[in-house]
């Protein structure tokens, strides 16, 4: 078990390191740097060189990368070139809207998909089960930004019930904060719910063919009762795993949603930092996101070790 944990941890750190190198190289391949953004079209080459020197981006790329990596090792992500903000503090500040968005999306998607997926599985051979399935398929195929725009037009512009965009911190106005996040969370959770519903449906159909369901029904449970009492519990365990693994997808969805709803979260910071060629901000963000996703994967991996006796047995056999 310890060996399994250590191996997973080493893989996590190695993956994060490789990921940060890939991001570093890709951002540099885009062309242009933060000085191009700052000075714009007007600057003379000598002034561009002066600014590059001032910001330390005239050094070889390897030196720049290692300098950043040394900072990371000591817990210092550095400061942004343009606005001069502390990157770590900025990421923490931006986590609020993104966590509300992603966790809110998960909190809505998981129970909703359990209900819809189970309903669809129980009624798999009936029209109403098929309808849920078709709706889930449609949900998967609707892009998040389009769903967001439709929600804005209906609930923001047409009905005027909810804000069309912007973020209100909870500390400033709790009700305003909740209202500002309703549409973004709905837009983000739509596709995720659809994916989870399909997953729960498939898992439930499998579970419904298990012996223990037949046993429960033989003891007098109805098919629906057996599904709800015994089936949902079994089908939902892998759903939690999938939800953890889907977190990366949720962050990707947050990039789109935060831009549609003008939310100052991590996703928007990724876009503005990339467009502004704030290389160390992009690198740091990529590292943090990768670590979050990898830690979740790591925890799932560890959980498998505990939950699945076959992994423990394999470890013992190899020892």
Partner 1 sequence: MKLFQQTGRRGRRRLGVTLVAALAVAGWTGGTATARVQRPASTADRSKTLIATLPQEPASWNYWEVGANALRVPTFYNVQETLVEDKPDGSIVPMLAESWTISDDGLTYTFKIRTAKFHDGSDLDSADVVYSMKKNAESPLSKLSAPHQNVASVTAVDARTVQIVLKQPSASFLKELGNSAGYVVPDKFLEEHDAKKEMIGTGPYVFSDYKPDTSLTLKRFDGYWGTKPFFETIDWRFVDDETAALNGLLAGEYDFVTSVLAEGIERVATFSKDTKFKVLFESAGEVSYLWLNTTKKEFQDQRVRQAIAHAINRDEAIAVYDGYADPTCLMVVPYAEPYNSDYCPYTYDPEKSKALLKEAGYENLEIDYPFANVASHPFTMEVLTQQLGAVGIKVKSRSQELTTWLDKTWAQGDYGMSEIRDSANILQYGCKGGREPLGKSHPLCVKEFEDKLAVADSNTDPQKYQAAMSDLVKTFADLAWVTVISAPKVPQIMRANLDGIQEVRINNAVDVRSAHWTG
Note whether 225 and 140 are within 8 A (CB): no
Least distance CB 303 / partner 1 (angstroms): 24
Least distance CB 58 / partner 1 (angstroms): 14
Least distance CB 105 / partner 1 (angstroms): 18
Nearer to partner 1 by C-beta: 159 or 317? 159
Least distance CB 48 / partner 1 (angstroms): 8
C-alpha to C-alpha distance for 5 and 7, rounded to whole angstroms = 5
Note whether 5 and 299 are within 8 A (CB): no
Least distance CB 185 / partner 1 (angstroms): 13
Nearer to partner 1 by C-beta: 40 or 60? 40
> Side-chain half-sphere of 66: how many Cα atoms within 13 Å?
5
Nearer to partner 1 by C-beta: 126 or 233? 233
Nearer to partner 1 by C-beta: 19 or 148? 148
Find the distance separating the first CA and the last CA of the chain, reported in whole Å. Answer: 10
Closest CA to 167 of 183, 148, 153, 151: 183
The token pair that represents 307 in the structure block: 């939950």
- In this structure, the number of other CB atoms found within 10 A of the CB of residue 110 comes to 20
Least distance CB 169 / partner 1 (angstroms): 10
Binding residues for partner 1, rule: CB under 8 A, are 30-34, 36-45, 47-48, 50-51, 81-85, 90, 149, 152-153, 156-157, 159-167, 173, 175-176, 179, 182, 225, 228-229, 259-262, 264, 268-269, 272, 275-278
Nearer to partner 1 by C-beta: 1 or 83? 83
The token pair that represents 101 in the structure block: 């968005």
Nearer to partner 1 by C-beta: 275 or 299? 275
- Characterise 308 by phi-psi region: left (phi > 0), alpha (psi -120 to 50), beta (else): beta
C-alpha to C-alpha distance for 161 and 186, rounded to whole angstroms = 14
- Please count the residues of the chain: 319
């Amino acid at each position: 078990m310890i060996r399994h944990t250590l191996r997973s941890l080493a893989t996590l750190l190695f993956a994060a390191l490789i990921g940060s190198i890939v991001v570093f190289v890709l951002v540099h391949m885009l062309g242009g740097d933060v000085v191009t953004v700052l000075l714009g079209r007007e600057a003379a080459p000598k002034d561009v060189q002066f600014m590059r020197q001032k910001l330390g981006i005239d050094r070889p790329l390897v030196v720049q990368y290692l300098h950043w990596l040394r900072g990371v090792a000591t817990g210092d992500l550095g400061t942004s070139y343009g606005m001069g903000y502390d990157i770590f503090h900025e990421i923490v500040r931006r986590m609020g809207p993104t966590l509300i968005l992603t966790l809110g999306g998960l909190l809505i998607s998981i129970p909703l998909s359990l209900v819809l997926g189970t309903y669809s599985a129980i009624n798999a051979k009936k029209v109403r089960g098929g309808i849920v399935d078709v709706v889930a398929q449609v949900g998967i195929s609707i892009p998040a930004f389009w769903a967001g725009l439709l929600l804005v037009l209906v609930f923001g512009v047409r009905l005027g019930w909810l804000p069309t965009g912007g973020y209100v911190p909870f500390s400033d106005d709790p009700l305003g904060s909740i209202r500002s996040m309703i549409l973004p969370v709905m837009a983000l959770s739509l596709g995720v719910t659809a994916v989870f519903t399909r997953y729960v449906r498939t898992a439930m159909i499998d579970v419904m063919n298990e012996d223990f369901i037949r046993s429960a029904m033989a003891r007098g449970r109805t098919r629906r009762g057996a599904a709800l009492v015994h089936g949902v519990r079994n089908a939902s365990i892998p759903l939690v795993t999938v939800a953890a693994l889907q977190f990366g997808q949720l962050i990707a969805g947050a990039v789109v949603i935060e831009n549609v709803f003008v939310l100052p979260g991590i996703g928007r910071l990724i876009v503005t930092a990339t467009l502004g060629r704030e290389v160390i901000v992009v690198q740091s963000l990529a590292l943090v996101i990768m670590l979050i996703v990898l830690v979740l994967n790591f925890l799932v991996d560890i959980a498998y070790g505990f939950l699945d006796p076959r992994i423990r047995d394999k470890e013992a056999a190899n020892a």
